[in-house]
């Protein structure tokens, strides 16, 4: 929602989009080094087109704001000119009156002809106030003239800014048109390789299933370990009561075994505090990368090239530059470092009953049970040199429930 934003806010937003476009261009150039068109290139060009459309939209709103400024300044100049005419007219009448009564003798006779002292004093004060009023009128005329000059300059600046913005907007529309042509050309090339793309998609789906199986095993293992820890602590308490000779006839009875396996991670008080802190930072958690653009969002979406093919994403994919480090999004403990069959790694960090997953890594700098802190580097993103693609896959879970990372990390 851009309407109602100040010009400063719009300029700040525009600057951020400019930075995003420059960074996306950098990623696109990296994909071009592979010497072949890839789906990643299509995704990034689409992302750039989205950014350019936002940029043009922001300029349109900024132009709207400048137009309002021009209208407002024009009205204020008209009002100030009317005030100036009125002030000058009043001042001219005062000067004329002063000219008619310019002799000091007339003033003196007017004062001396007073009936008493009080009347004479009031007449003296009248001449003093009249003189002061004349000075104030002259000052107001000067101030109004200065205000008009200032408003005229502001009006001129706004008009020049509008001309500049219109020029930038036109240039951006030309760039947008060229990028759309580039995207359509690349799409045409890729659609001629449909069999190869389908084969690649099936391989990606297989790799994703392997990742999901690994995540499920680790989550189940975390639930099992937490449950065993809880039961062991309950047994320790009962044994301690026995040792003290307390009447624990009821307490010492073993709790009935549950026929249903635990589905959530049992938390210690410390882990509960960590989970609550994690939850309270929803929408404010840092990115798992220092820089990047979201190349694939959460949930189902159409394949960028293959018509009628829907793909599902359990997290988000973030395109970044080669050699980028992965960062933990919050304090936690390493639950798993998984070696996947395709040669990449995945790291799972537990934050109470929340788990963050960082996949498609070249290397990991942590091991299981290591404690990590917010923004700590934990590994490096893998680069696919064939496609010129460096992309992190990131997921969020709470126990066995999949979460949308877009709702948790900062915008």
User: What SS3 class is residue 365?
Assistant: coil
Q: Which two structure tokens, joined as six digits, stand for 299? A: 């949930």
User: What SS3 class is residue 102?
Assistant: coil
Q: Which two structure tokens, joined as six digits, stand for 41? A: 């290139």
Domains for the chain: give ranges and CATH numbers: 7-191 (1.10.287), 210-251+264-407 (2.70.70.10)
* Cα dihedral value 371, 374, 376, 382, nearest 10: 100
- Alpha-helical segments (H) within 101-193: 104-112, 117-191
Q: Tens of pLDDT along the chain (411 residues)? A: 455 567 788 888 888 888 888 888 888 888 777 656 678 888 888 888 888 888 888 888 888 888 877 888 788 778 877 877 776 777 677 666 655 555 554 555 555 566 677 766 676 666 556 666 666 766 777 777 787 778 778 778 788 878 887 888 888 888 888 888 888 887 777 777 777 778 888 888 888 888 888 888 888 888 888 788 778 878 888 888 888 765 544 444 555 555 456 778 888 889 999 999 999 999 999 999 999 999 999 998 888 877 778 888 999 999 999 999 999 999 999 999 999 888 899 999 999 999 999 999 999 999 999 999 999 999 999 998 888 889 999 999 999 899 999 999 997
Residue 59 confidence (pLDDT): 84
DSSP code of residue 229: H
Residue 127 confidence (pLDDT): 59
User: SS3 string of 334-346?
Assistant: EEEEEECCCCCEE
Residue 316 confidence (pLDDT): 95
Q: Which two structure tokens, joined as six digits, stand for 198? A: 């389908």
Q: Are 191 and 305 in contact (CB under 8 A)?
A: yes
Closest listed residue to residue 200, CA positions, set 317, 28, 342: 342
Alpha carbon 300 to its chain centroid, in Å, reads 23
Distance (Å, rounded) from C-alpha 315 to C-alpha 318?
Answer: 10
Closest listed residue to residue 215, CA positions, set 409, 407, 381, 403: 403
Q: Which two structure tokens, joined as six digits, stand for 263? A: 């589905």
């Amino acid at each position: 929602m851009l309407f109602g934003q100040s010009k400063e806010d719009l300029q700040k937003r525009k600057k951020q989009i400019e930075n995003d476009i420059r960074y996306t261009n950098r990623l696109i150039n990296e994909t071009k080094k592979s010497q072949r068109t890839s789906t990643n290139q299509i995704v990034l060009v689409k992302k750039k087109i989205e950014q350019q459309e936002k940029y043009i939209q922001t300029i349109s709103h900024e132009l709207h704001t400048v137009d309002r400024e021009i209208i407002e300044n024009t009205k204020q100049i008209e009002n100030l000119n009317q005030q100036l005419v009125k002030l000058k007219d009043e001042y001219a009448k005062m000067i004329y009156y002063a000219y008619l009564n310019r002799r000091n003798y007339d003033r003196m006779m007017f004062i001396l002809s007073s009936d008493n002292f009080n009347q004479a004093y009031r007449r003296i004060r009248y001449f003093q106030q009249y003189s002061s009023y004349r000075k104030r009128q002259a000052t107001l005329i000067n101030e109004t003239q200065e205000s008009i000059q200032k408003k005229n300059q502001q009006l001129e600046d706004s008009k020049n800014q509008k001309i500049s913005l219109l020029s930038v907007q036109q240039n951006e529309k030309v760039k947008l048109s060229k990028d759309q042509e580039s995207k359509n050309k690349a799409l045409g090339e890729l659609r001629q390789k449909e069999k190869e793309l389908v084969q690649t998609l099936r391989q990606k789906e297989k790799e994703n299933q392997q990742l999901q199986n690994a995540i499920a095993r680790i989550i189940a293992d975390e639930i099992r370990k937490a449950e065993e820890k809880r039961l062991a602590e309950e047994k320790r308490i009962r044994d301690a009561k026995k040792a003290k000779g307390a009447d624990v006839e009821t307490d010492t009875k073993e709790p009935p075994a549950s026929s249903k396996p635990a589905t959530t991670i049992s938390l210690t008080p410390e882990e509960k505090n960590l989970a609550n802190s994690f939850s309270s930072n929803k929408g404010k958690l840092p990115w798992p990368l220092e820089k990047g653009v979201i190349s694939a969002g959460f949930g189902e979406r159409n394949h960028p090239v293959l018509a009628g093919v829907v793909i599902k994403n359990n997290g988000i994919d973030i395109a970044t530059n080669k050699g980028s480090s992965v960062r933990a999004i919050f304090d936690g403990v390493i639950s798993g470092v998984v070696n996947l069959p395709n040669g990449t790694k995945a790291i799972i960090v537990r934050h109470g009953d929340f788990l963050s997953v960082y996949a498609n890594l070249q290397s990991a700098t942590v091991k299981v049970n290591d404690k990590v802190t917010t923004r700590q580097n934990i590994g490096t993103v893998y680069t696919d040199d064939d496609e010129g693609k460096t992309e992190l896959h990131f997921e969020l879970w709470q126990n066995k429930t999949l979460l949308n990372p877009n709702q948790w990390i900062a915008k």
